[in-house]
Chains A and B, each alone.
Chain A
Amino acid sequence: MSVREWMVGLSAGEKHFIQGGIAQDLRADGRKRLTYRPIYVETGVIPQADGSAKVKMGATEVIASVKLDLARPNPSQPGKGKVSLFVSCSATAGPMFEGRGSEELSAELSVALQRCLLGGKSGAGAAFDPSCLSIVDGKLCWDAYIDGLVVSADGNLLDALGAAIKAALINTRVPVANVPAGASLDEDPDVDLSSQETTRIDTSGVPVIVTLTKVGRHYIVDATSEEESQMSSAVSVSINKERRICGLTKRGGAGLDPSIILDMISVASHVSEQLMNKLDSEIAAAEADEQM
């Protein structure tokens, strides 16, 4: 995950400084271990999407978009729309993402986000109920394509992407599709989309993702790429408003004691409340801004 690979390495003294600072609850940018960088949210950044948002955390910048397409539901789940989620890393974030260079990280982030936001096959643990995308049971539905794009990378990409997707979902307007009575839906569906009416997706259950990065014996939130280069392992937990865990990913080479994992989860759950509140107010402000 280290973005510093292409940059020059840290000297022994600096490594020592970063680790020592974290042990003293003082990080290189003056933050405490469990403090986030200022978060900045802007919604509606992509005019062609049905919902979109940009999130900045320090020098990390990500964009998420939600696009809806008319489709036929999956026969096994007739009353639900399909949701898919992919992330790509733009080469603007650094020359190491050029060409195929970003594939590995993109795949890692995509899968981690799918795990945190889409829930299992049964649909349990999903960020939102895909049945709100259904138009005609078993015949017609909206397919939601959620895309994340990393524009600038300075650590903590997963949390930033999670926040951007949450904001993009809140920003999404689902057009109301009027199906004429008696229309045959077996061939090309003839759907009236002319009405300006839209509905919203119920986003109250969308979790936030909190990644705790373990440096030395301590954990920090919102690590910069410099700090990530010193990590032994990281645990990302997605937690919803009810403080339930919706997904979990452990990254990094070093093994963790099970009791430490449990401790990290409880810290993450505590931090998630602050992040959720902060994010909700930022998103609300961004939405109000957009409507102006």
Chain B
Amino acid sequence: MEAKPLDSPTSFVNQLVVPGDVVLDLSTMANQTIKLGGGLRQDCDSITVLKAGKLRFAKPNKYWVESSQKRYVPCVGDTVLGIVVDTRADNFLVDIKGPALAFLPVLSFEGGTRRNIPKFEVGTLLYVRLVKANTAINPELSCTDASGKAAEFGLLKDGYMFESSTGLSRMLLSSPACPVLEALGKKLSFETAVGLNGRVWVNAASPSTIVLVSNAIMNSESLSAVQQKIMVDRLLQRVQ
């Protein structure tokens, strides 16, 4: 794999692309296997872009377009914040900002049996994991981790949830910890849950802390790391 240098494709990697751009020509890349992620499509011998964003490449052979949107495209393994919109006999219907409502089977809780089905009102906020996602069926959620433990999944009580973009969520979840959360965490104690679908939930002992933290996170969307630290310091000064 590594033996053959990727000549034409590398010129597009880490570049901004728009729909319609042809980024790879398969006819010049014989004997190579490549994997395509979101935002790319194969059209005969060419790989074209479907979404505006930045073309990314991961060794050995993965390509995808990274972008930030308000809507979410379901993907297995993602953790998201969902809102219960309806209850059926076997499933809760949950809005995850995706193209279709997601199903949360009433038994997919730790030790879930027919006898201890939780009662969720419409509007309840849940931290859940996506276990099935393809375009043919509605996405399926679970309130357990892969080993069947409740882990941190489940109901988010109290607090405040706001919606932003998928890009902001990814930034908040990136490691090492994103500067805004790090700076806030040094001075304040709060709880937060970030869904990859662009929803962020914040809880703390006092409402003023919740307001401060959620606004700091929202403001950080268009700031660089250094700017984020300055913004948080300024906010904290104003409060103290």
**A and B touching (Cβ–Cβ under 8 A):** yes
Beyond A14-B160, A28-B160, A30-B215, whether A9 also contacts B122 by CB under 8 A is yes
- In the complex, the answer to whether B156 meets A13 with C-beta atoms within 8 Å is yes
- The reply on A256 being an interface residue by CB < 8 A is no
- In the complex, the answer to whether A11 meets B211 with C-beta atoms within 8 Å is no
- In the complex, the answer to whether B211 meets A8 with C-beta atoms within 8 Å is no
- The reply on B187 being an interface residue by CB < 8 A is no
- Whole-angstrom distance between the Cβ of A102 and the nearest chain B Cβ: 22
- In the complex, the answer to whether B214 meets A28 with C-beta atoms within 8 Å is yes
Would you list 28 pairs from A and B whose C-beta atoms are within 8 A, ordered by A residue?
A8-B85, A8-B123, A10-B123, A11-B83, A11-B121, A11-B123, A11-B124, A11-B125, A12-B124, A13-B125, A13-B156, A13-B159, A14-B159, A17-B158, A17-B160, A17-B207, A21-B207, A21-B211, A26-B207, A26-B208, A26-B211, A28-B162, A28-B214, A29-B211, A29-B215, A30-B211, A30-B212, A30-B215
Beyond A24-B207, A28-B211, whether A9 also contacts B83 by CB under 8 A is yes
- Whole-angstrom distance between the Cβ of B188 and the nearest chain A Cβ: 15
Residues of A23-76 whose CB lies within 8 A of B: 24, 26-30
Cβ contact of A9, chosen from B123, B159, B208, cutoff 8 A: B123
- In the complex, the answer to whether B122 meets A14 with C-beta atoms within 8 Å is no
- The reply on A20 being an interface residue by CB < 8 A is yes
Cβ contacts under 8 Å, B212 to chain A: 30
Residues of A174-219 whose CB lies within 8 A of B: none
- The reply on A16 being an interface residue by CB < 8 A is yes
**Interface size band for B:** 20 to 34
- In the complex, the answer to whether A8 meets B83 with C-beta atoms within 8 Å is yes
- In the complex, the answer to whether B214 meets A12 with C-beta atoms within 8 Å is no
- The reply on B171 being an interface residue by CB < 8 A is no
Give a binary string over B74-98; 1 marks a CB under 8 Å from any A CB, 0 the rest: 0000000001010000000001000
Cβ contacts under 8 Å, B123 to chain A: 8-12, 14
Complex CA distance for A14 and B95, rounded to whole angstroms = 16
Task: Show the binding face of A for B, using Cβ within 8 Å.
Answer: 8-14, 16-18, 20-21, 24, 26-30
- The reply on B157 being an interface residue by CB < 8 A is yes
**Considering only CB atoms, which chain A residue lies closest to B160 in the complex?**
A17
Complex CA distance for A20 and B95, rounded to whole angstroms = 26
- The reply on B210 being an interface residue by CB < 8 A is yes
Residues of B166-195 whose CB lies within 8 A of A: none
Complex CA distance for A27 and B212, rounded to whole angstroms = 10
Complex CA distance for A18 and B207, rounded to whole angstroms = 9
Complex CA distance for A12 and B124, rounded to whole angstroms = 7
Cβ contacts under 8 Å, A11 to chain B: 83, 121, 123-125, 156, 161
Complex CA distance for A251 and B124, rounded to whole angstroms = 29
**Considering only CB atoms, which chain A residue lies closest to B120 in the complex?**
A11
Cβ contacts under 8 Å, B121 to chain A: 11-12
- In the complex, the answer to whether B211 meets A27 with C-beta atoms within 8 Å is yes
**Considering only CB atoms, which chain A residue lies closest to B157 in the complex?**
A13
Complex CA distance for A196 and B214, rounded to whole angstroms = 53
Give a binary string over B200-222; 1 marks a CB under 8 Å from any A CB, 0 the rest: 00000001101110110000000
- In the complex, the answer to whether A14 meets B207 with C-beta atoms within 8 Å is no
- In the complex, the answer to whether B124 meets A17 with C-beta atoms within 8 Å is no
- Whole-angstrom distance between the Cβ of B85 and the nearest chain A Cβ: 6
Complex CA distance for A28 and B201, rounded to whole angstroms = 13
Complex CA distance for A180 and B210, rounded to whole angstroms = 70
Cβ contacts under 8 Å, A18 to chain B: 160
- Whole-angstrom distance between the Cβ of B34 and the nearest chain A Cβ: 38
**Considering only CB atoms, which chain A residue lies closest to B82 in the complex?**
A8
Additional A-B contacts beyond A8-B123, A11-B121 (13; CB < 8 A): A8-B95, A9-B85, A11-B83, A12-B121, A12-B124, A14-B123, A14-B161, A17-B210, A26-B211, A28-B211, A29-B211, A29-B215, A30-B215
Residues of B47-101 whose CB lies within 8 A of A: 83, 85, 95
Cβ contacts under 8 Å, A29 to chain B: 211, 215
Residues of B102-141 whose CB lies within 8 A of A: 121-125
Complex CA distance for A143 and B97, rounded to whole angstroms = 47
Cβ contacts under 8 Å, B208 to chain A: 24, 26
Cβ contacts under 8 Å, A17 to chain B: 158-160, 207, 210
- Whole-angstrom distance between the Cβ of A262 and the nearest chain B Cβ: 30
Cβ contacts under 8 Å, B158 to chain A: 13, 16-17
